[in-house]
Amino acid sequence: MKIVVLTGGNSSERAVSLHSGRLVSEALRRRGHRVLQLDVWRGLTDREIGDDPISLFSETFDRYPPRIEAVGGDAPVGENVLRLCRLADVVFLALHGGAGENGQVQAMLDCCGVRYTGSGFRASLLG
């Protein structure tokens, strides 16, 4: 399976999300899945994606620092995040705090028809 593991974000729990996302990604790779760990807030630029986005599902991106200064923008998702999620068979939500727990990310994935793990946006919003 092609799986996007969404991690990071811009909440105070960013470092925890990056760590748990890395562990989830490693476990999924050991089970034979093609995994792309993706920082939900930063995303990837068109240059980073290149001509073959599917090839990203076999790479590891460990360049995201646990702490970030204001990168800019209030959008809960970064550049090309939804595009890459649409290429996956499923998205594993390894997000903690903020938009990853309040239903915003789940609602965007629902609107795009993307399958993901965890509760739907209504349950996340209420929780």
Distance (Å, whole) CA 98 – CA 107: 14
* Res. 111: pLDDT tops 70: yes
**How is 38-103 classified by DSSP, letter by letter?**
EETTTB--HHHHTT-GGGGGG-------SS----S---SS-BTHHHHHHHSSEEEE---SGGGTSS
Tokens at 97, concatenated:
């705090």
Query: pTM of the prediction?
Result: 0.87
pLDDT in tens, 79-107: 899 999 999 999 999 998 777 777 888 99
pLDDT in tens, 7-17: 988 888 888 99
More confident residue, 97 or 57: 57
* Res. 2: pLDDT tops 80: yes
Specify the pLDDT at position 75. Answer: 65
| Of 60, 101, 102, 106, the residue nearest 85 (C-alpha) | 106
pLDDT in tens, 7-56: 988 888 888 999 999 999 999 999 999 999 999 888 888 998 989 999 99
* Range in 53-57, 77-81, 119-123 the model is least confident about: 119-123
More confident residue, 17 or 69: 17
